[in-house]
C-alpha cells in the first residue's frame, strides 16, 4: 500500500475576519496525481501556499514525508518542486541562467548537461539562451516546470498550471503531468478550477469549496458511469416523465420546466430512453449528457452555496 | 546552499539589472562635470573665495589641489548618494515580490533569515562598490588632474590648513564613515522593501524619511533639538569631523590628530544602532510575512 507523502490536519487560515481555509483535512499518497479542485477563491492556492510555507497557517498541522513542516521546512522543501500560479522568472536573464540560479538555490550543483537535459524535457532547449522576457506564456509555464524539476524532487506541486494557456499549451502541460506520474513515478499535486483538467490527469481529488473540504476520493469512484447527469429538451416534459417512470431502476428524474427535465442515470441507457420517448410520440429536441465529475462538482458547490 | 553561493547569486542578479549602473554612471558624470568645471575656471573661483583672506594672509602653493576637490565633491555628493543606494536596496525584496519571483525563491530550501541575509549582503557590497567607485573617481582622478598639496578648508569663522602628508588617512576614515552612513540608508530601504510589493514605494518612502529628517535637523526649535540626536540623518555628515585638527597650547596643529574623536565615534554608534534596528525589524517582519504576491 502506498505511503502517505503529505497529510494536512485541521488546517485553517484566516486573513482578519475572512476565513480562507477552514479545518481542512486531506492526504496525498505516494506516486499519485492528486487533483485539487475548486472554484476561483475556494481556498486552493492558500492551501498550497501553506504546504509550501509561503503562508503561515492560523491553525492545524502539515506533515510532509513524515515530518512536520514547522520543524523541518528546509528538508521538506528540498524534496518538493513547485509552480505557484504563473511562474514568474527573471525576464532579463535567459532560461538557462534562470534554471542555473534556481538549481543552485535548490542545493544542486548545476552542470550544463543537467540544465540542458531539463530544458529539453520541457521543449525549451533550442531557446535556452533567449531572455525569458521574450517567451510566450506557455514557454514561461514550461520553464517554471523545469525550475520545479531541476533538483529531481519527489513531490511536485503545480498550482493552476494551465491558466492562460492556449489549447496546445494545456495539452502539453497535461502530458507532462502524466509523464511525471506514470514514467518518472513522481507524486504530483495539481490544482485547477477546470474540472476537465483534473479529471484527465488525477488519480484522487479533493473538491474544496469556500475553504472547506466538500469531498475527497479516488476519481474512478467519483466518475461512476451510472451517475451521469443527462439533460433532455422535449416537446412535453410532463408526458415524457410519465412515460419514463419505471423504465429504469437506476434513473432519478427531475422536471425543470414544461420542456426540460434532468435524469441522473447510466449514460449507456440514453439511446434506450430516447427510443421510448420517440415511440410514445414525444419529440426529443436535444440531449446533453454532462460529464459525471462536472455534475458532481456542480451539485456539490450549488449545495454548499445555498 | 552555502551562504557565499547565495550572495553570488544575489550579486549576479543585482549586476544584471540596468538600474544598477545608473548610480555608477551618475557618479561618474557628476564628478567629471565638477572636475571639468574647476579645471576650466577653478583658479578665478578660488581667488574670489579667498578674497577676504588675501588681504590678511599671503597664501602660496596649489590651493586648488586634488584633496580640496575631493572635499568639495564629497560635500556635494554625499547628500544625494542615498537615492542611488536605495535604488538597489529598496528593490531587493519588493522587486522580487513585484515580479512574482519571491514566491518561487521562498519555495526553495533556504531559510528566510539566510535568504534575507544574502540579499542584504549583496546590497551592502553594492553600496561599498559605489563608494569605492566614488573614492577612485573623486580622489584618485582629482589628484591626477589637480595634484597634491596642503588643504585649506574654509569654515564660517575658521580656516583650517592640513598638511598634505596628513590628509590621505583622513580620507580613508571619511570614506569608512560614509560607508557606515550609506549602509544605514541601505538598511532603511531594505526594511521598507519587505513591506511593499513594488520597488517605487520603498524608494520614495526612504527618500521621504531622509528629507523629513533633514528638514527637522535644520529647524532650530527646542522641541526638535531634543530629538535630533536620535535621527540618523543628524549623523550622516559626521565624516567632516575627520578634517577638524586638534590644536596644542601654542595654537599649533597636532599632525595626525582629530579634534573631537568621541563625537565622531558617538555618531558612528548611532548609525550602527540604526542599522541593527532596521535589520532586526526587517528579519522579524520577513519571517512572519505571508507571501501573497
Q: Helix, strand, coil proportions of chain A in percent (round to 5)?
A: 40, 30, 30
pLDDT at position B275 is 97
Residues of A within 8 A of B292 (CB-CB) are: 49, 55
Task: Return mean pLDDT, chain A.
Answer: 88
Residues of B within 8 A of A93 (CB-CB) are: 13, 16
Give the highest mean pLDDT range of A232-241, A266-275, A297-306, B217-226.
A232-241
- What total of structural domains would you count in chain A? 2
Say if residue A29 is in the same domain as residue A176. Answer: yes
The C-alpha angle with vertex A12 and arms to A8 and A17, in degrees rounded to 5, equals 170
Say if residue A197 is in the same domain as residue A230. Answer: no
Say if residue A100 is in the same domain as residue A134. Answer: yes
Domain containing A290 equals 225-305
**Rounded to an integer, what distance in angstroms lies between the CA atom of residue B102 and that of residue B283?**
15
B2 near A CB under 8 A: no
- CATH number reported for the structural domain that contains residue A185 in this entry: 3.40.50.300
pLDDT at position A291 is 61
Give the 3-state secondary structure of residue A239: helix
Q: What is the DSSP string of B16-79?
A: TSHHHHHHHHHHHHHHHHHHHHHHHHHHHHHHHHTHHHHTT----S-SS-HHHHHHHHHHHHTT
Say if residue A234 is in the same domain as residue A165. Answer: no
Tell me: pLDDT of A305 over 50.
Answer: no
Query: Closest partner residue to A49 among B5, B12, B291, by Cβ?
Result: B291
Tell me: pLDDT of A33 over 90.
Answer: yes
Query: Closest partner residue to A78 among B5, B109, B290, by Cβ?
Result: B109
Say if residue A88 is in the same domain as residue A217. Answer: yes
Tell me: pLDDT of A199 over 90.
Answer: no
Instruction: Provide the residue-wise pLDDT of chain B in tens; the chain has 293 residues.
Output: 788 899 999 999 999 988 889 999 999 999 999 999 999 988 887 777 777 766 776 767 778 899 999 998 888 776 788 999 999 999 999 999 998 899 999 999 999 999 999 999 999 999 999 999 999 999 999 999 999 988 888 776 677 788 889 999 999 999 999 999 999 999 999 999 999 988 899 999 999 999 999 888 888 888 888 888 889 999 998 999 999 988 888 878 888 889 889 999 999 999 999 999 999 999 999 999 999 87
**Rounded to an integer, what distance in angstroms lies between the CA atom of residue B57 and that of residue B230?**
41
Confidence of residue A102 (pLDDT cuts 50, 70, 90): very high
Model confidence, pTM? 0.85
Contact A88 B99 (CB under 8 A): yes
Give the highest mean pLDDT range of A142-151, A239-248, B51-60.
A142-151
Q: Which residue has the higher pLDDT, A1 or B148?
A: B148
pLDDT tens, residue by residue, A54-64: 999 999 999 99
pLDDT at position A44 is 92
Say if residue A193 is in the same domain as residue A248. Answer: no
Give the 3-state secondary structure of residue A135: coil
Query: Closest partner residue to B101 among A52, A88, A104, by Cβ?
Result: A88
Tell me: pLDDT of A303 over 60.
Answer: no
Say if residue A47 is in the same domain as residue A170. Answer: yes
Confidence of residue A306 (pLDDT cuts 50, 70, 90): very low
Say if residue A299 is in the same domain as residue A189. Answer: no
Q: Which residue has the higher pLDDT, B259 or A51?
A: A51
Cβ-based neighbour number of residue B213 at 10 Å: 18
Confidence of residue A304 (pLDDT cuts 50, 70, 90): very low
- CATH number reported for the structural domain that contains residue A274 in this entry: 3.30.70
Amino acid at each position: 500500500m502506498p505511503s502517505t507523502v503529505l497529510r494536512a490536519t485541521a488546517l485553517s487560515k484566516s486573513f482578519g475576519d475572512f476565513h480562507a481555509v477552514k479545518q481542512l483535512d486531506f492526504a496525498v499518497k505516494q506516486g499519485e496525481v492528486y487533483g485539487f479542485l475548486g472554484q476561483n477563491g475556494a481556498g486552493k492556492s492558500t492551501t498550497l501556499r501553506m504546504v509550501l510555507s509561503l503562508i503561515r497557517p492560523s491553525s492545524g498541522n502539515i506533515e510532509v514525508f513524515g515530518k512536520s513542516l514547522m520543524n523541518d521546512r528546509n528538508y521538506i522543501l528540498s524534496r518538493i518542486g513547485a509552480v505557484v500560479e504563473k511562474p514568474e522568472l527573471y525576464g532579463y536573464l535567459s532560461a538557462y541562467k534562470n534554471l542555473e540560479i534556481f538549481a543552485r538555490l535548490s542545493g544542486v550543483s548545476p552542470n550544463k548537461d543537467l540544465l540542458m537535459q531539463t530544458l529539453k524535457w520541457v521543449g525549451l532547449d533550442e531557446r535556452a539562451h533567449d531572455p525569458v522576457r521574450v517567451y510566450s506564456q506557455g514557454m514561461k509555464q514550461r520553464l517554471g516546470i523545469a525550475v520545479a524539476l531541476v533538483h529531481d524532487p519527489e513531490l511536485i506541486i503545480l498550482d493552476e498550471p494551465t491558466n492562460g494557456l492556449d489549447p496546445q499549451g494545456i495539452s502539453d502541460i497535461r502530458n507532462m503531468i502524466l509523464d511525471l506520474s506514470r514514467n518518472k513515478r513522481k507524486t504530483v499535486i495539481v490544482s485547477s478550477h477546470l474540472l476537465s483538467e483534473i479529471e484527465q490527469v488525477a488519480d484522487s481529488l479533493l473538491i474544496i469549496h469556500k475553504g472547506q473540504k466538500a469531498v475527497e476520493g479516488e476519481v474512478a469512484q467519483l466518475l461512476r458511469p451510472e451517475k451521469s447527469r443527462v439533460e433532455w429538451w422535449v416537446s412535453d416534459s410532463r408526458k415524457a416523465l410519465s412515460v419514463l417512470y419505471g423504465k429504469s431502476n437506476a434513473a432519478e428524474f427531475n422536471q425543470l420546466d414544461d420542456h426540460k427535465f434532468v435524469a441522473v442515470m447510466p449514460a449507456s441507457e440514453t439511446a434506450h430512453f430516447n427510443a421510448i420517448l420517440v415511440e410514445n410520440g414525444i419529440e426529443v429536441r436535444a440531449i446533453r449528457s454532462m460529464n459525471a465529475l462536472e455534475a458532481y462538482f456542480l451539485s456539490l458547490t450549488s449545495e454548499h452555496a445555498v | 546552499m552555502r551562504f557565499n553561493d547565495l550572495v553570488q547569486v544575489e550579486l549576479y542578479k543585482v549586476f544584471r539589472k540596468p538600474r544598477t549602473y545608473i548610480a555608477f554612471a551618475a557618479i561618474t558624470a557628476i564628478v567629471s562635470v565638477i572636475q571639468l568645471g574647476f579645471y576650466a575656471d577653478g583658479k578665478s573661483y578660488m581667488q574670489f573665495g579667498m578674497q577676504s583672506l588675501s588681504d590678511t594672509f599671503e597664501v602660496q602653493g596649489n590651493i586648488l589641489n586634488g584633496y580640496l576637490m575631493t572635499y568639495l565633491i564629497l560635500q556635494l555628493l554625499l547628500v544625494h548618494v542615498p537615492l542611488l543606494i536605495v535604488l538597489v536596496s529598496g528593490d531587493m525584496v519588493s522587486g522580487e515580490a513585484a515580479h512574482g519571483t519571491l514566491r518561487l525563491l521562498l519555495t526553495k530550501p533556504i531559510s528566510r533569515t539566510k535568504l534575507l541575509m544574502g540579499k542584504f549582503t549583496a546590497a551592502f557590497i553594492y553600496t561599498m562598490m559605489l563608494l569605492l567607485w566614488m573614492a577612485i573617481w573623486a580622489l584618485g582622478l582629482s589628484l591626477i588632474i589637480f595634484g597634491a598639496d596642503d588643504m585649506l578648508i574654509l569654515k564660517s569663522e575658521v580656516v583650517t590648513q592640513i598638511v598634505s602628508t596628513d590628509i590621505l588617512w583622513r580620507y580613508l576614515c571619511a570614506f569608512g564613515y560614509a560607508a557606515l552612513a550609506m549602509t544605514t540608508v541601505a538598511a532603511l530601504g531594505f526594511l521598507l522593501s519587505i513591506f511593499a510589493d513594488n520597488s517605487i514605494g520603498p524608494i520614495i518612502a526612504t527618500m521621504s524619511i531622509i528629507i523629513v529628517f533633514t528638514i527637522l535637523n535644520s529647524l532650530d526649535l527646542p522641541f526638535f533639538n531634543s530629538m535630533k540626536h536620535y535621527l540618523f540623518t543628524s549623523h550622516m555628515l559626521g565624516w567632516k569631523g575627520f578634517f577638524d585638527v586638534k590644536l596644542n597650547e601654542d595654537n599649533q596643529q597636532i599632525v595626525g590628530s582629530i579634534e573631537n574623536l568621541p563625537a565622531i565615534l558617538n555618531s558612528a554608534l548611532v548609525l550602527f544602532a540604526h542599522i541593527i534596528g532596521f535589520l532586526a525589524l526587517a528579519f522579524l517582519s520577513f519571517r512572519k510575512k505571508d507571501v501573497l504576491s
